[in-house]
Amino acid sequence: MLDLAFRPDRAAGEPLRRQLEDYLRALVETGRLQAGERLPATRELAASLGLGRNTVAQAYEALCDDGLLSAHVGQGTFVAPRPRRAPAGELPAGHAFAWEGLLAARTRRFALPESARMPDPVRFDFRGGGVDASTAPQVELRRAFSRALARHGTALAEYRDPLGWPALREAIARALVSRGIAARADEVMITSGAQQALDLVARCLVDPGDVVAIEQPGYFAAGVAIAASGAHRVGVDVDEQGLRTQDLARLLRSRRVKLVYVTPAVQCPSGVLMSDDRREELLALADEHQTPVVEDDYDSELRLGSPPVPALKTRDSAGQVIYVGTFSKAIQPGLRIGYVVAPAPLLRRIALTRVACDLGTSVIGQAALAELLAAGDLERHVRRARRLYAARLALLDDTLRAELPDGASWSLPAGGNCLWLRLPAQADPDEVWRGMQSAGIAAARGDLFFVDGRGRDHLMLGVAGVDEDGIREGVTKLGRIVKRAVARRAA
Amino acid sequence: MLDLAFRPDRAAGEPLRRQLEDYLRALVETGRLQAGERLPATRELAASLGLGRNTVAQAYEALCDDGLLSAHVGQGTFVAPRPRRAPAGELPAGHAFAWEGLLAARTRRFALPESARMPDPVRFDFRGGGVDASTAPQVELRRAFSRALARHGTALAEYRDPLGWPALREAIARALVSRGIAARADEVMITSGAQQALDLVARCLVDPGDVVAIEQPGYFAAGVAIAASGAHRVGVDVDEQGLRTQDLARLLRSRRVKLVYVTPAVQCPSGVLMSDDRREELLALADEHQTPVVEDDYDSELRLGSPPVPALKTRDSAGQVIYVGTFSKAIQPGLRIGYVVAPAPLLRRIALTRVACDLGTSVIGQAALAELLAAGDLERHVRRARRLYAARLALLDDTLRAELPDGASWSLPAGGNCLWLRLPAQADPDEVWRGMQSAGIAAARGDLFFVDGRGRDHLMLGVAGVDEDGIREGVTKLGRIVKRAVARRAA
């Protein structure tokens, strides 16, 4: 019998079946178990390891499913033959070709900025934009996929309307009532995340060289989509009431602006809720200059205050607000489903553009999401996520207060799971950044959110990927780094 | 008790439960059953309609799940209250805003051509590009989604590497051995269908105004993606050996060509397999001019001949062939998963571009597909699909021979489920097209596949959406239309 050095760890969270599976997988993949080799019978192995026979059988089955083992009735379980590989001589050299010189100009310009670089390894994950995966409705999602496939069968197999799966468009139109928006299903288009909605809108409305106004600081990936369309991005400053509409007015008078991009519910990254007056002024300006407004309502479900402020689009009497929403925050980003609400004539144009892009979002995923929404568990799930983030943000607030030196400033966001921190003016931001890299503190540096290079003295701290202990320890370390930088400047 | 005019149709393929569900749904949606109205008890309704009680109960449950009915223990089942709607005055006018004038120039230019227009209603569906949904591996897919969600849980919730889910990249790299390609997993990127792969490659490598060489006739959606990047498309003719490399050589000498797009396994739409000599010549030219080649291997699994011809990429010693594949043909398009194989440095650039586009393909869908591939049922399924399409194409060939007048020409494709038909020179193609519209015969007109306006005398006939009776009847009608057009020209 094979001599297996496997020792089950009963204290680990991982099921024993899984531990054994992983162990055997490693033996096969590293070649320590060779193709054709016979594994011990489940009964023998179970006895020798002190495991249940079922546990061993399940581990074997999982590895058979993965093609690493193969079972032969009456003979036993064997390491599967290796997949045939082409002779090494046929391996494409790959790097011989001079790709760099062939890249499009916009591709060459596009690199991940220093401000988005993450330490390696990440010890304290304050990156923003994600969710705490423990809040994802796993069981409900599994049920929803199963029901969608059982219920709609072959209808999910085909190319479908690039505007989206009808039941999902209906469900979103109904759900938007809670944001104050009365939209018809034919005004809703399903996209692969809010990011694709932004990309499609930019591709449809923006010619290279056009001016697009974006918040500053503002959501950087929206800026990336807008820049990819060839637009010239102009930042309009944000203060504690949201976008400074007087600055926008000045810009609109001096330049032809093709699009204005805003995040009124939870301004990204500052967390500010756009005030009532600013909303009125923004729409009046858009109307006067006949400029479409993109409202990215990405974090509205995760509001901290209550009651919710209705979407900007509810005041959109001329139909010039393009509303973008997502399930990445309320459910999970891995689903990659968002949507855009716009007048049907514009949506039809966007649908044509989608032929170039990808011909539509996964039909199965859309149908499953429609099932999930119909089952109605979403609101309960969102409440749970909201409580979790509120508690973590409150702890972050407390810990910052305790650990950061005078001069640092921040305020709690209107919603979501991120906080926008300004470092003390006395601290050299580059020194703080270097300190964070060596301490393994991952966060986005503020200049990622500016188009004019400002913002190095800011950090966006997200709490989705860090638990309470991590917040305490990470902020304590950050506090030490900032204090040291202040002291050095003073010296 | 409510008077229901429902009459179960036992001869219909649809289950009775589903028939009743659809009937009741229509009553609710059209308002004939009002919110709050009480439905008959399942026992009563079952008796009055001559149905099993379980059948009625299941129909009620499905409608409760969809939120149209609501059940109250001890009281019965009621039509659910209508979702609250904002007052009509708040409805955005939508059409008041002058969107047409705001569209980007490229968007304004982009309209669905006449050659892609479909009759309404479609009676004989010879559209190409899809699959027969009955060949989709429904049960296997359902199992795969369920296993993926159970096995990977929260790992599927988050944003993941835009290059794709590691297990799927591994599985594709392994499967590519059957196409003769030895790729590492880090040379495989998952995309939302082959269409997105083409779009990303074009966005990454093509600047506005660059020249891209495409087959003529050639796959129109590839042309759309290339045009969307601002490229100038130049068609290179195709003959019975595939792309005419001597024409390409002339083009490469006279212009700087940024990219060459080809479909060597099953040329779209002509169905031609690119000959060995042409493959050699194409790669020699690409090498000489340092021009990347995109190989779209979309239909290779559905080959009609055997054994399979290895991919062009197998001869790619310099690493300048970008290989695009898809699961839309071998599994189903509704999955929206394809992939691109390219040297890792280029893939990293493409992954950056994806930040602008959509941040990645559905993680759940990718993990499910990895499970499906690991379970190994795919080859059996592909064989079934291949047999189905081969039989239909043979029937189409026979029926064309019997029904079309002299002068029409075609040949069986190397694979896939489409056939490229040339009408007799004596028939006015516009008259044939009008005849097809009134007879309800849906097919793509040939000029859809040309960039220079030629091709109106061709049709692409697909057999995925039409069964044997439909082929016989549809082609008989088409034959009559063509004969009439020939006769009129002669008169």
The whole-chain average pLDDT of chain A stands at 89
- Whether residue B427 is contained in a domain is answered as yes
Test A99 with B224 for CB contact under 8 angstroms. no
Test A225 with B357 for CB contact under 8 angstroms. yes
From the list A251, A201, A257, A255, the residue with the least C-alpha distance to A225 is A201
Q: In the predicted model, is pLDDT for residue B199 greater than 70? A: yes
d(CA A83, CA A67): 9
Quote the domain boundaries for residue A275: 139-375
Q: Are residues B227 and B186 located together in one domain of the fold?
A: yes
Q: What is the pLDDT of residues B207-221, one digit of tens each?
A: 888 999 999 999 999
- Whether residue A3 is contained in a domain is answered as no
By CA distance, what is A336's nearest residue in B?
A: B362
- Chain B residues whose CB is inside 8 A of the A314 CB are 86, 90
User: Average pLDDT for residues B88-111, to the nearest whole number?
Assistant: 63
Q: Is A182's Cβ below 8 Å from some Cβ in B?
A: yes
Q: Is B360's Cβ below 8 Å from some Cβ in A?
A: yes
Q: Are residues A341 and A300 located together in one domain of the fold?
A: yes
User: Average pLDDT for residues B348-359, to the nearest whole number?
Assistant: 89
Q: Are residues A307 and A392 located together in one domain of the fold?
A: no
Q: What is the pLDDT of residues A436-477, one digit of tens each?
A: 999 999 999 999 999 988 999 999 999 999 999 999 999 999
- Whether residue A178 is contained in a domain is answered as yes
Taking CB atoms and an 8 Å cut-off, how many pairs form between chains A and B? 347
Q: In the predicted model, is pLDDT for residue B82 greater than 70? A: no
User: What percent of chain B is predicted at pLDDT more than 70?
Assistant: 95
User: What percent of chain A is predicted at pLDDT more than 90?
Assistant: 58
The whole-chain average pLDDT of chain B stands at 89
By CA distance, what is A128's nearest residue in B?
A: B159
Q: Is B205's Cβ below 8 Å from some Cβ in A?
A: yes
By CA distance, what is B310's nearest residue in A?
A: A86
Q: In the predicted model, is pLDDT for residue B465 greater than 90? A: yes
CA distance A490 to chain B (A): 41
Q: Are residues B397 and B313 located together in one domain of the fold?
A: no
d(CA B126, CA B443): 5
Give bridge partners of residue A444 from the DSSP assignment: A460
- Chain B residues whose CB is inside 8 A of the A185 CB are none
**Which residues touch B409 (CB under 8 Å, ≥6 apart)?**
B421, B422
Test A149 with B141 for CB contact under 8 angstroms. yes
d(CA B61, CA B42): 11
Q: Is A27's Cβ below 8 Å from some Cβ in B?
A: no
Buried b / exposed e along A300-317 (16+ C-beta atoms within 10 A): bbbbbeeeebbbbbbbbb
pLDDT of residue B96: 61
d(CA A65, CA B146): 14
User: Average pLDDT for residues B47-70, to the nearest whole number?
Assistant: 84
Test B103 with A349 for CB contact under 8 angstroms. yes
User: Average pLDDT for residues A225-251, to the nearest whole number?
Assistant: 95
Test A359 with B134 for CB contact under 8 angstroms. no
Q: Is B364's Cβ below 8 Å from some Cβ in A?
A: yes
- Chain B residues whose CB is inside 8 A of the A365 CB are 362, 364-365
By CA distance, what is A210's nearest residue in B?
A: B104
Q: Chain B, 40-59: which have a CB under 8 Å from a chain A CB?
A: none
Q: Are residues A122 and A147 located together in one domain of the fold?
A: no
Of B142, B258, B358, the CB nearest to A195: B358
User: Average pLDDT for residues A197-222, to the nearest whole number?
Assistant: 95
Structure tokens belonging to residue A94: 């790959």
Q: Are residues B303 and B395 located together in one domain of the fold?
A: no
pLDDT of residue A306: 67
> For A165-268, where are the E strands, in sequence order?
188-191, 211-216, 232-239, 242-243, 257-262
CA distance A153 to chain B (A): 6
Q: Are residues A470 and A348 located together in one domain of the fold?
A: no
Among residues B344, B376, B408, which one ends one of the domains? B376
Q: Is A469's Cβ below 8 Å from some Cβ in B?
A: no
**Domains contained in chain B, number:** 3
Which region among A26-35, A374-383, B46-55, B58-67 has the lowest average model confidence (pLDDT)?
Answer: A26-35
Q: Which amino acid would we find at residue A287?
A: D
> Domain with A422 in it: what CATH number?
3.90.1150.10
Test B362 with A359 for CB contact under 8 angstroms. no
User: Average pLDDT for residues A133-154, to the nearest whole number?
Assistant: 90
Q: In the predicted model, is pLDDT for residue B93 greater than 70? A: no
pLDDT of residue A388: 95
> Domain with B231 in it: what CATH number?
3.40.640.10
Model confidence at B7, pLDDT cuts 50, 70, 90, reads confident
d(CA A482, CA A406): 10
Give the three-state DSSP class for B243.
Answer: strand
Q: What is the pLDDT of residues B269-327, one digit of tens each?
A: 999 999 999 999 999 999 999 999 999 999 888 888 767 889 999 998 888 999 999 99
Model confidence at A252, pLDDT cuts 50, 70, 90, reads very high
Q: Chain B, 110-169: which have a CB under 8 Å from a chain A CB?
A: 110-112, 129-131, 133-134, 136, 138, 141-142, 145-147, 149-150, 153-160
CA distance A138 to chain B (A): 6
- Whether residue B241 is contained in a domain is answered as yes
- Chain B residues whose CB is inside 8 A of the A335 CB are 362-364
Q: Is A224's Cβ below 8 Å from some Cβ in B?
A: yes
Q: Are residues B173 and B302 located together in one domain of the fold?
A: yes
Q: Which amino acid would we find at residue A405?
A: P
Q: Are residues B214 and B323 located together in one domain of the fold?
A: yes
d(CA A305, CA B128): 53
DSSP string, B138-196: HHHHHHHHHHHHHHHGGGGTS---TT--HHHHHHHHHHGGGGT----GGGEEEESHHHH
Give the count of beta carbons closer than 10 Å to the beta carbon of residue A142: 19
- Whether residue B93 is contained in a domain is answered as no
Structure tokens belonging to residue A436: 């964070």
Q: Are residues A367 and A391 located together in one domain of the fold?
A: no
By CA distance, what is A230's nearest residue in B?
A: B208
- Chain B residues whose CB is inside 8 A of the A13 CB are none
> Domain with B20 in it: what CATH number?
1.10.10.10
By CA distance, what is A335's nearest residue in B?
A: B362
Instruction: Give the DSSP H/E element, type plus range, for residue A295.
Output: strand A293-296
Q: Chain A, 400-459: which have a CB under 8 Å from a chain B CB?
A: none
By CA distance, what is B374's nearest residue in A?
A: A66
- Chain B residues whose CB is inside 8 A of the A199 CB are 356-358
- Chain A residues whose CB is inside 8 A of the B192 CB are 192, 358, 361-362
Test A374 with B67 for CB contact under 8 angstroms. yes
Among residues B324, B345, B376, which one ends one of the domains? B376
Which region among A25-29, A40-44, A75-79, B439-443 has the lowest average model confidence (pLDDT)?
Answer: A25-29
Q: Are residues B146 and B228 located together in one domain of the fold?
A: yes
Q: Are residues A123 and A154 located together in one domain of the fold?
A: no
